[in-house]
Amino acid sequence: MTDALITLDAVNKWFGKLHVLRDVNLSVAAGEVVVVIGPSGSGKSTLCRSINRLETIDSGTITFDGRPLPAEGRALARLRADVGMVFQSFNLFAHKTILDNVTLGPTKVRRQSTADARAYGMELLERVGIADQAGKHPAQLSGGQQQRAAIARALAMRPKAMLFDEPTSALDPEMVGEVLEVMTGLAKGGMTMIVVTHEMGFARHAADRVVFMADGQIVEQAPPAEFFAQPRTERARDFLGKVLSH
Ligand SMILES: Nc1ncnc2c1ncn2[C@@H]1O[C@H](COP(=O)(O)OP(=O)(O)OP(=O)(O)O)[C@@H](O)[C@H]1O
Ligand SMILES: [Mg+2]
């Protein structure tokens, strides 16, 4: 194996009788940006959630940075810090300020001093363009601003990889761009990323590789230019026909 940061090997997952991940093999190199697309229910979220062990798998192995995922305890907390996750819903703490949301993890999990965490937190809020919102509470921000705060919060842990599960799906259309812009910046800056999204423009411009899932399987994967120009399977063609037509 070369420089894979994330490796899934023959991963299977069932929800009861439903086989949601079927022999999934996926290797993501350090610095690589992988966009995962596919129909609803194909297992995209489960795949993401398995990688930072929000879901357990039934067979196969997942390794992160050369080690199998830890099952519990401090090692698991460290994994969750190393693998930042951003969801469709922003999941910010409602009763804390934006800056406090960003500094909580670094002070509690990474044991950083409050001063250091706040300084780096402000730097990140600057980077995502909401430094002026630092003292406000989440409800006082727009959806796009909240999602950028959620990204800053994940980055504050100095993660080795970031997982995004439909980060723009809950946003009003006019706010999608500002979040994608932050993600594009991260991608260009060399962050290892797995991004589940329906934003095909982002896939085209920011992804190194597009992974198409259907029925719990990776059906095909290719660099975006190749995938969008010549999808090899009927299922991918059918899916692209639907998502690109509106
Ligand atoms: N906690 C759960 N318990 C039972 N079934 C689940 C659970 N979570 C997901 N599933 C089922 O597993 C399958 C895969 O779900 P998953 O959320 O991974 O799909 P997805 O590709 O992310 O879909 P979407 O595009 O709608 O977000 C679906 O059939 C879903 O209903
Ligand atoms: Mg999903």
| pLDDT tens string 183-224 | 999 999 999 999 999 999 999 999 999 999 999 999 999 999
Span 28-43, average pLDDT: 97
| pLDDT tens string 138-165 | 999 999 999 999 999 999 999 999 999 9
pLDDT at 2: 58
Check: CB of residue 102 under 8 Å from CB of residue 124.
Answer: yes
Look over the chain and give the mean of its residue pLDDT values, rounded to a whole number.
95
Nearest Cα neighbor of 176 from 213, 201, 206 is 201
Tell me the C-alpha distance between 27 and 188, whole Å: 20
CATH class, 4-94+160-244 region:
alpha beta
Instruction: Say how many Å lie between the CA of residue 200 and the centre of ligand 1.
Output: 21
Residue whose CB lies within 8 A of the most ligand 1 atoms, among 12, 13, 15, for a mutation test: 15
Backbone dihedral angles phi then psi of residue 117, each to the nearest 5 degrees: -65, -40
Residue whose CB lies within 8 A of the most ligand 1 atoms, among 11, 20, 165, for a mutation test: 20
Q: Edge-to-edge, what's the strand order for the sheet holding 59-64? A: 18-29, 4-15, 59-64, 67-68
Residue with the smallest CA separation from ligand 1 atom 7 is 15
What is the length of the chain?
246
Span 68-92, average pLDDT: 91
Domain residue limits, the chain? 4-94+160-244
Cβ neighbours of residue 74 closer than 8 Å, sequence gap 6 or more: none
48 CB less than 6 Å from ligand 1? no
Instruction: Say how many Å lie between the CA of residue 63 and the centre of ligand 2.
Output: 22
Q: Model pTM greater than 0.75?
A: yes
Check: CB of residue 26 under 8 Å from CB of residue 73.
Answer: no
Element (H, E) at 234: helix 234-244
* Residue appearing with tokens 């969750």: 80
Check: CB of residue 84 under 8 Å from CB of residue 159.
Answer: yes
| pLDDT tens string 84-123 | 999 999 889 999 999 999 999 999 988 899 999 999 999 9
Backbone dihedral angles phi then psi of residue 210, each to the nearest 5 degrees: -110, 130
216 CB less than 6 Å from ligand 1? no
Which of the ligands is closest to the CA of residue 211?
1
Q: Which atom of ligand 1 is nearest to the CA of 47?
A: 18
- E strands, 43-149, where? 59-64, 67-68, 83-86
43 CB less than 6 Å from ligand 1? yes
Q: Which atom of ligand 1 is nearest to the CA of 196?
A: 22
pLDDT at 68: 94
Hey, what are 240's tokens? 């692209």
pLDDT at 184: 97
Residue whose CB lies within 8 A of the most ligand 1 atoms, among 44, 47, 213, for a mutation test: 44
Q: Which atom of ligand 1 is nearest to the CA of 46?
A: 18
Cβ neighbours of residue 26 closer than 8 Å, sequence gap 6 or more: 6, 7, 8, 34, 47, 211, 218
Share of the chain above pLDDT 70, in %: 99
Check: CB of residue 223 under 8 Å from CB of residue 209.
Answer: yes
pLDDT at 246: 61
Instruction: Say how many Å lie between the CA of residue 49 and the centre of ligand 2.
Output: 10
Cβ neighbours of residue 102 closer than 8 Å, sequence gap 6 or more: 117, 121, 124, 125, 149, 152, 153, 156
Q: Which residues surround the ion ligand 2 when the cut-off is CB under 5 Å?
A: 45
